[in-house]
A = this chain, B = another copy of it.
Amino acid sequence: MNAASPRAIEALNPPSLPELAYQHLRDSILDGSLEAGAPLRQEEIAGRLGISRLPIREALRRLESEGLAMLRPRRGYVVASLNREEIDDVLDLQATLEARAGHAATLRTNDDVARELEACLAQLDRITSRAPVDVNAFAELNLKFHDTLFESSGRPFLCRTLRLLRSNAERYARVAAGMLIDLRQSQAEHRAILEAYRAGDAARVAELCWEHRDATRTRLLDHLDKTNLETTPAGGK
Contacts and interface: CB of A to CB of B under 8 A. Distances in A.
Interface stretch (A83-91, A138-146, A177-185): A83-91
B158 A10 contact: no
A86 B154 CA distance: 9
Interface SS of A by simple majority: helix
Nearest to A159: B89
B161 A93 contact: yes
Contacts of A10: 72-73
Interface residues of A, number: 42
Contacts of A168: 157
Interface stretch (A60-68, A119-127, A193-201): A60-68
Contacts of A74: 13-14
A99 B143 CA distance: 27
Interface in A193-217: none
Determine how many copies of this chain the complex contains.
2
A71 to B, nearest CB: 9
A168 B157 CA distance: 10
A73 B160 contact: no
Given A18-B61, A65-B66, A72-B10, A100 B96 contact: yes
A236 B2 CA distance: 12
A157 B172 CA distance: 15
Contacts of A86: 156-157
A1 interface: no
A129 interface: no
A8 interface: no
Contacts of A66: 65
A67 B66 CA distance: 12
A160 B64 CA distance: 13
B100 A14 contact: no
B58 A14 contact: no
Contacts of A160: 67
Interface string A115-135: 000000000000000000000
22 contacts: A6-B235, A10-B73, A14-B73, A14-B74, A18-B61, A58-B58, A61-B62, A62-B65, A65-B66, A67-B160, A85-B154, A86-B156, A89-B155, A89-B156, A89-B157, A89-B158, A92-B155, A93-B97, A93-B155, A93-B161, A157-B168, A161-B161
